[in-house]
Amino acid sequence: MKVQLESPNQAEVLSLIAELDAYQDTLYPAEARYALDLTALEQDNVLFAVARSGDGAAIACGAVVLGGEAGELKRMFVRPAYRARGAAAKVLATLEEAAAMRGCRLLQLETGPFQPAALAFYRKQGFRVCGAFGDYPEHPLSVFMAKLLAGAMA
């Protein structure tokens, strides 16, 4: 498996994002989803990572939106057939390293309570539940988490 920063504007990657959106649609109403569209994903302050299988197929993705010393994790998704094989951890590690190199010290995310596997993954990766951040409202269908990146002062 190879993971690297890539453009989200690729047919295979757009297919991953469409799968993520379709999955989210089954879990949460529109007013409780805070997804970034392709235009937002292509901004200069966004890092986008793609994991590819041995044959080069896009199997996972994720993004970090940078804003000063904080970044927000967005669009994390692993195709179901590739879950529990380390793809999510590798995408996250790639994003964390790239974000830290650009001055990010705190990584935050918003996810939902109906994704227990994702919540467990983020906890295992060092994220802790926190309050709403940025422009997010407190909402019963939102779980906010944060993690200090390596080298950050507590």
In terms of CATH, what superfamily is 2-148? Gcn5-related N-acetyltransferase (GNAT) (3.40.630.30)
DSSP state of 22: H
Each domain of the chain, given as residue ranges in start order, spans 2-148
Region of 123 please: left (phi>0), alpha (psi -120 to 50) or beta: alpha
pLDDT at 154 over 60: no
Mean of pLDDT over the chain:
93
Give the integer Cα–Cα distance in Å for 78 and 84. 9
pLDDT at 140 over 90: yes
The better pLDDT of the pair 6, 35 is held by: 6
pLDDT at 52 over 90: yes
- Report, as an integer, the average pLDDT of 34-55: 91
The pLDDT tens digits for 58-74 are 999 999 999 989 999 99
pTM greater than 0.85 (yes/no): yes
Is there a contact between 59 and 6 (Cβ–Cβ < 8 Å)? Answer: no
